[in-house]
Amino acid sequence: MVPEKLTFSPLSRRQIEADFSGGHITSDAGLLLLREVDKQHRLTQRLASVLNDSRNPVLVRHKLETMTRQRVFGVAAGYEDLNDHEALRFDQALQTAVGKESDLAGKSTLCRMEQQVNRQSVVKAHELLWRHFIEQHETPPKEIVLDFDGTDIPVHGDQPGKFFNAYYDHHCYFPLYVFCGRHLLVSYLRTSNRSDSRHSWAILALLVKFIRQHWPDTRIVFRGDSGFYRPRLLSWCDR
């Protein structure tokens, strides 16, 4: 029988005790702060509204909005693998952050949700980021700088689309990111067997077109390294 409390030798006048009556303990209490931010901006709620859900509503146990929030919060806490949710689904901090008082969705349910995401949903999800970016400005800025850059995501198994990249010297994916200051505007997953500028001019065109609808007089600066020095992209910028 383990006692509820153990007393150790004191440090000066400070008592040292081991207490085993803490109840439910979590290492992810920071999710509660993320919950408050999400409640203010409603990003996971808006994201769920553009995703596909072909399930029979009568048989649904976990709502799409709840699963979306569970997956996003899990990634934010450092749990990228769906397998992590076999244990996380019972974590009361994550349950509280998501807004449920019972067990969350398991890895198979979350996997089926992600498998239903199509190209149209991805485009709409990015438009949510762009709209949120616009909403953060009370007045149109005089100038914005769009930073384009690709980076590596190492892969260690036999994932689809895995290629060896000589520059990074390992097998990886090569996503494209677009930032404007601290705002993430684009996160586009690509294979690593193509150049840094792959699809960048098309993404730039979509992004600029959207921004121009809200800020017609704002000066837009495109910034990228030498990997983006491509005639098609530069010709579009000139036009």
Give me 79's structure tokens.
């749990």
pTM for the full predicted model: 0.81
Helix (H, G, I), strand (E, B) or coil at 199: coil
* pLDDT for the residue 54: 86
Domain holding 44, by residue range, is 5-116
Q: Are residues 76 and 142 in the same domain?
A: no
Domain closes at, from 52, 84, 116 = 116
- Is 20 in the same domain as 105? yes
Of residues 74, 158, 159, 160, the one with CA closest to residue 110: 74
Residues contacting 152, CB < 8 A, separation 6+: 165, 168, 170, 172, 173, 174, 192
Same domain, 217 and 131: yes
112 with 146, same domain: the answer is no
Query: Residue 158's Cα: distance from chain center in Å?
Result: 23
pLDDT at 109: 93
Residues 124 and 225 in one domain: yes
Residues 80 and 28 in one domain: yes
The answer on 213 and 106 residing in a single domain is no
Phi-psi region of 181 (alpha: psi -120 to 50; beta: other; left: phi over 0): left
Reduced to 3 states (helix: H, G, I; strand: E, B; else coil), residue 143 is strand
Question: Do residues 127 and 210 touch, judged by C-beta distance below 8 A?
Answer: yes
12: region left, alpha or beta (phi > 0 left; psi from -120 to 50 alpha):
left
Instruction: Write down the pLDDT at residue 227.
Output: 87
Domain identity same for 112 and 176: no
Is 94 found in the same domain as 177? no
Among the candidates 67, 87, 116, a domain finishes at 116
Boundary residue ending a domain (61, 93, 116) = 116
Residues 104 and 131 grouped into a single domain: no
DSSP 8-state assignment for residue 191: B
Residues 228, 200 contacting (CB under 8 angstroms) = yes
* pLDDT tier, 90 (very low <50, low <70, confident <90, very high otherwise): very high
Do 82 and 41 belong to one domain?
yes
pLDDT band at 121 (very low <50, low <70, confident <90, very high): very high
pLDDT at 58 (0 to 100): 85
Whether 221 and 207 have beta carbons less than 8 Å apart is answered as: no
